[in-house]
Structure 1
């Protein structure tokens, strides 16, 4: 009985993962408003009724996709923290500003690769659903806390403007993950991903004006 239960759970996890991958791809390419549950079911290769047994609403589907991308972001940030600890032990500490830049570049690269979910800024049902999604909120808070530590360190060491509210810096970095400038430059077909990432990183941290 235990073996059958374990197999059933494994099958359910595989199905859930297939759904989340489909949702993530559709959110990245079409956006939340244009995505339909029928499309998710078709993309995941299952009946709509089967999908609803695992996820009860479109909002819940979006939440699952966001949990997935936040897990990836946390893994990337934790990897940077490990590298920073090793560098510090070797006597070559990494600047918090460089770590923030690395996270920003990762977010834009993820967007350029079509793997960053795109959610509307104003949608009361979706917003309410995400705010009551413990898995999503726990990860969002964890990521915010990790980035806030680097922001504070960068400001106190003179690498970022100390007069700016830390939350302004944090929200600016989060905004790069869904920056329309990145998407527009990509759609133009005139620039490489590396160029786009370099330019938007530069304008984010250095601004548009020439230093005098």
Structure 2
């Protein structure tokens, strides 16, 4: 039974509106960024009043935090559903592919901003920090396992691989290719995965 099957009609409507708000916030964040985004923007995108929006989220910080928590939860759920026969590198590639497709569909990257203000805001959100630490631990284990079995260069510090991997999830090349090249999203994903794991060397 889904979560909605356990809720009253009123609660279901509230939850559906909350998801619509998070979708709108994600879209506005993707186009305007955190600093320029306003609660009026989000309310207008959903088609509700600002007081109605504040019934769900008490501040912009709260709203953005929940949008990013939803993204991290999606990544954790995706990892949990992967075939256990996949190698560590295969799982890393699958997760990166998922993250790239999320972005190409208008979603957010794992690392939402280089802004110190946004970083500080997120670090004050205990719920967000807890989720990020969980995802980071899972990805770090995959990196170490891939190094141990020879899929990734064991001579590289694992942190270099780990943070380079995160950087690939928010590489601006994705948006540039989508906007200015004639490539399909499928081709963009395929080429970005090749660059992430094989660099610019010819495919073997």
- The verdict on a shared fold, with TM-score over 0.5 as the criterion, is yes
Distance 1:162 1:49 in 2: 54
Aligned match of 1:120 = 113
Q: Which runs of 5+ in 2 are unaligned?
A: 1-6
Larger Rg belongs to: 1
- Listed as ranges, the matches of 1:1-212 within 5 Å are 9-80=11-82, 83-84=83-84, 87=85, 94-116=86-108, 119-124=112-117, 126-210=118-202
Distance 1:168 1:55 in 2: 37
Distance 1:163 1:122 in 2: 32
How big is the shift at 1:28?
Answer: 2.2
Distance 2:53 2:100 in 1: 30
Distance 2:115 2:108 in 1: 18
Could you state the TM-score of these two structures normalised by the residue count of structure 1?
0.84
Distance 1:165 1:56 in 2: 42
SS of the residue corresponding to residue 186 of structure 1 reads: helix
Distance 1:37 1:65 in 2: 14
State the superposition RMSD in angstroms: 2.2
| Higher mean displacement: 27-36 or 94-103 | 27-36
Residues 24 and 115, structure 1, Cα contact 8 Å, conserved in 2: yes
Structure with higher RCO (Cα < 8 A, 6+ apart): 1
- Residues 66 and 211 from structure 1, CA distance in 2 versus in 1: closer, same or farther, beyond 3 angstroms? closer
Distance 2:9 2:183 in 1: 47
